[in-house]
Amino acid sequence: MAPIALTPPTKDDESFTVLTEHGIAEALRKNAPSQLKSASLTGNTTVTPPELATKSPPSTEPQLPQLDASSVQCTYTSSPRTVPAVGSPEMASQKVCSDHMIQAQWTSTTGWAAPTLQPYGPLSLAPTASCLHYATECFEGMKLYRGHDGKLRLFRPNLNCNRMLMSTNRIALPGFDPAELLKLVVKLCATDGAKWLPKDRPGHFLYIRPTMIATDPALGVERPKEALLFVILCCFAPMGNMSSGIKLLASQDDMCRAWPGGFGYAKVGANYGPSLVAQGEARKLGYHQILWLFGNEGTITEAGASNFFVVWRNKESGRLELVTAGLEEKIVLDGVTRRSLLELARGKLTTGHEGLEELDVVERSFTIFDIVDAAKEGRLVEAFAAGTAWFVAPISQIHFKGEDIEVPMVKGQIGAYADVLRNWLKGIMWGSDGMEGHEWGYVVEEEE
Ligand SMILES: *Cc1c(COP(=O)(O)O)cnc(C)c1O
């Protein structure tokens, strides 16, 4: 190891001897005491077992300022940017951001400074900044939807903010109250929404990227002492029709995306860069995404940066099942779309729906060989990928070890279950089909 990595622990670090729940409890105690009690952030992720939290010595340090959206300082742009035309290359470039951004700075000695809403622009970082070397970075991905009823909506944004806290904890970035992050996201959306997502573009959306990076300008490999939270709004082309379904290439034996004890469950940048070689190869071969398998059994985890779902007929019981990987092993990301589809399916599909056969909703470990068998035996009904970026994307084919598994799409372009689930989500996100008032749709009041 390079000498530079051998930074001796300081007094400040003594309580962080293990990067586990204890370390996380300590981080929260310092930087987000209000979150310490929340044993569960997104439902399944245990962050602070109370017995560990209470073992910590009582803090003698003065309480540092926490992230506080109410103290946001606004500086509006004097050179407004141009909103790309519908269908233009700029719109699809994923490079054009709205007029403003949110920033908030943190240091271990001064806590969180007042956040700012300021003109969108480049960051200034020391070349020695921790995030540039040690992947001390995490992010969220959510969307701001322009509804068919004219309203602006977020979709269950509190879950994204909770998950962001879980991700920051995993990589020793500072804690914060997720409700404050949500207020900052809403502030940015309220400021730029009317112009960047005009009312004559119903069905369109902006992509919201909350990000946190460690900005420490010291090269030592150690817990960040300085960080920057920022939120940007990026233009994306409206979702086209995946007219023939997506094709997945199963990952090879020599690569996996996540492993037990790792960080696949957190939205940290370190998960994505190393997956791009495989993704590039897949694209070259005509596949859209990698189906990430794990271990000798070929356990199915995720499809690209989306959760993977399959509908099949259970061999033993003969019943239909909607199956997706469970979260216990922490090798799968706890997707907001995944969670929402499971909740919708449990509420509406287990007793049959408009002529659709009822099905069981199951979170459990399953393998690529289970899918191969189901396909061979005519029990494979459909499969789809689900996530904010790709929404609910039907899967038409999976390539595994030289063989193509053809996945049925009974409605031509999509399976019957993916179709109803997708329509429910669409209704909630874009305020249509009688779903306008659904509690998962968070209406943003626009500032003109
Ligand atoms: C973001 C992401 C998902 C989807 O999560 P959503 O909250 O539904 O957008 C799934 N898998 C991975 C690896 C991801 O990064």
Statement: residue 284 has pLDDT above 50: yes
At residue 216, the pLDDT reads 95
User: Does residue 388's CB lie within 6 angstroms of at least one atom of ligand 1?
Assistant: yes
Summarised one tens digit per residue, pLDDT across range 16-71 is 444 456 766 776 777 777 776 553 444 444 444 444 444 445 556 678 999 999 99
By the 8 A CB rule, do 312 and 321 touch? Answer: yes
What length does the chain have? 448
Best of 139, 161, 333 for a ligand 1 pocket test (most atoms within 8 Å of beta carbon): 333
Summarised one tens digit per residue, pLDDT across range 241-280 is 656 899 999 999 899 999 999 999 999 999 999 999 999 9
Helix, strand and coil in the chain, % to nearest 5? 30, 25, 45
Statement: residue 145 has pLDDT above 90: yes
Summarised one tens digit per residue, pLDDT across range 305-318 is 999 999 999 999 99
Nearest CA to ligand 1 atom 6: 335
Statement: residue 301 has pLDDT above 60: yes
Selection from 34, 19, 46 nearest residue 330 by Cα: 46
Please give the number of the atom of ligand 1 that sits closest to the Cα of 302.
11
Report the separation in Å between the CA atom of 110 and the middle of ligand 1, taken as the mean of its atom positions: 33
All residues at 6 or more sequence positions from 298 whose CB lies less than 8 Å from its CB, including other chains? 250, 367, 368, 369, 400
Statement: residue 394 has pLDDT above 80: yes
Query: Exposed, middle or buried, 209 (CB in 10 Å: 0-12/13-18/19+)?
Result: middle
Percent of the chain with pLDDT over 90: 82
At residue 21, the pLDDT reads 65
Please give the number of the atom of ligand 1 that sits closest to the Cα of 338.
8
Q: Is 179 left (phi over 0), alpha (psi -120 to 50) or beta?
A: alpha
At residue 61, the pLDDT reads 61
By the 8 A CB rule, do 384 and 376 touch? Answer: no
Give domain 16-77+89-238's CATH number out of 1.10.3720.10, 3.30.470.10, 3.40.50.720, 3.40.50.300.
3.30.470.10
* CA 37/CA 383 separation, integer angstroms: 38
Nearest CA to ligand 1 atom 14: 305
Q: Whole-model pTM above 0.85?
A: yes
User: Does residue 264's CB lie within 6 angstroms of at least one atom of ligand 1?
Assistant: no
Local structure of 440: helix, strand or coil: coil
β 380-387/391-400 pair status: antiparallel
Domain spans of the chain? 16-77+89-238, 246-414
Could you please state the CATH topology (level 3) that the domain comprising 246-414 is classified under: D-amino Acid Aminotransferase; Chain A, domain 2 (3.20.10)
Statement: residue 8 has pLDDT above 70: no
At residue 34, the pLDDT reads 74
* Furthest-apart CA atoms within the chain: distance in Å: 67
* CA 222/CA 286 separation, integer angstroms: 42
Which range among 3-17, 19-33, 400-414 shows the weakest confidence by mean pLDDT? 3-17
Please give the number of the atom of ligand 1 that sits closest to the Cα of 388.
9
Report the separation in Å between the CA atom of 333 and the middle of ligand 1, taken as the mean of its atom positions: 6
Which range among 39-48, 128-137, 351-360 shows the weakest confidence by mean pLDDT? 39-48
1 compared with 441, residue with greater pLDDT:
441
At residue 48, the pLDDT reads 43
Statement: residue 351 has pLDDT above 60: yes
Nearest CA to ligand 1 atom 12: 305
Nearest CA to ligand 1 atom 1: 305
Percent of the chain with pLDDT over 70: 88
